[in-house]
Amino acid sequence: MNVLRKFPPSSQSSCFKRFLSSKQPSEALKQHQAKIMGRGLPTKKPIDGVKHVIVVSSGKGGVGKSTTSVNLAAGLKLAYPDSDVGLLDVDVFGPSIPLMMNLHDTPLLNEKNLMVPLVNYGVKCMSMGFLIEEGAPVIWRGLMVMQALDKLLRQVDWGSIDYLVVDTPPGTGDTHLSLVQNVPISGVLLITTPQPASLQVTKRGAVMYQKLAVPIIGLVENMSSVTCPSCLNSVKLFGDGTTNLAAEVNSSIIESFPLDQLISSSTDGGTPVVVKDPGNTQSKSYLSLAKKVVQFLEKNKRSSS
């Protein structure tokens, strides 16, 4: 007997109709917010079946955070084929995991009324992009975003997951705070470019995670350099600011990636470069990143036990 059924499209689902409604009385909203605030900080509860939650974060958009997320997840699966890997996209307003992982179906609901993740390249994936019509804008208030985040965290049947990579939206907003306050986080990767505008907001993010006692795995520097196709000389377009930032936040750069057309064209085409061309220099760096992340998690687990 097939117990799986289609998750209802947003246009037909009563819960998503409620999410999309922007006509809630302001007074009722204020009362609800006051009620929530009166409860104090929530108790952290692990995601069922998930051993390690790895947050991928960036202060600024457009620095390659989602590209890092998909290649890290795929790299973890390649480096540790016996492990179960998941990828959760909590960027409600701008989900990009469906495109980068070439997944465009609607999740099924199982007999427990939980969403079943979509799978590609051996990685279980869930994203708000699977639950809304392609190209449709998400015009939600903060409370609706929190409700959607709760569904993505608590109403997905992940089964058994060793490493769950969480692709977050840019910045340090409600999504990040709710995620950290509700779920035990094994570590966070900070993604930045060497540009001052990116470094400045990345530092704010690092300070936030430190204040919330979330272990910082390290910094990943994207767009660190560019190689001339004619003379093959490598040029650092934006300087060495990331090294200074790492020292300021008491961390380190664990991998650097240059501007590389293959990286962007691969993910834009729905295949992480680590899968498309495993022998490529950048693919080897993503595999190295995956191994360094696992080493950090294991070391951190031993020190805390």
Tens of pLDDT along the chain (305 residues) come to 455 666 665 444 444 544 445 445 567 766 766 666 566 556 789 999 999 999 999 988 889 999 999 999 999 999 999 999 999 999 988 899 999 999 999 999 999 999 999 999 999 999 999 987 777 777 777 778 888 889 999 999 999 999 999 999 998 888 898 899 999 999 999 999 999 999 999 999 999 999 999 999 999 999 988 777 778 788 787 878 899 999 999 999 999 999 898 999 999 999 999 999 999 999 999 999 999 999 999 998 777 66
294 belongs to a structural domain? yes
94: its two tokens: 């701008």
What CATH number is given to the structural domain containing 73? 3.40.50.300
270 belongs to a structural domain? yes
104 belongs to a structural domain? yes
17 belongs to a structural domain? yes
32 belongs to a structural domain? no
With beta carbons less than 8 A apart as the criterion, state whether 219 and 252 touch. yes
3-state secondary structure of 33: helix
How much is the pLDDT for 15?
A: 47
Q: How far apart are CA 47 and CA 301, in angstroms?
A: 18
Q: How far apart are CA 205 and CA 101, in angstroms?
A: 26
36 belongs to a structural domain? no
pTM confidence score: 0.85
CA 116 → CA 70, 126, 156, 159, distances in Å? 19, 8, 6, 9
Number of alpha carbons in the 13 Å side-chain half-sphere of residue 86:
29
The residue segments making up the domain with residue 293 are 8-22+44-304
234: its two tokens: 């490598």
How much is the pLDDT for 11?
A: 45
123 belongs to a structural domain? yes
With beta carbons less than 8 A apart as the criterion, state whether 182 and 42 touch. yes
Domain count, the chain: 1
How open is the CA angle 246-249-254, to the nearest 5 degrees?
A: 35
180 belongs to a structural domain? yes
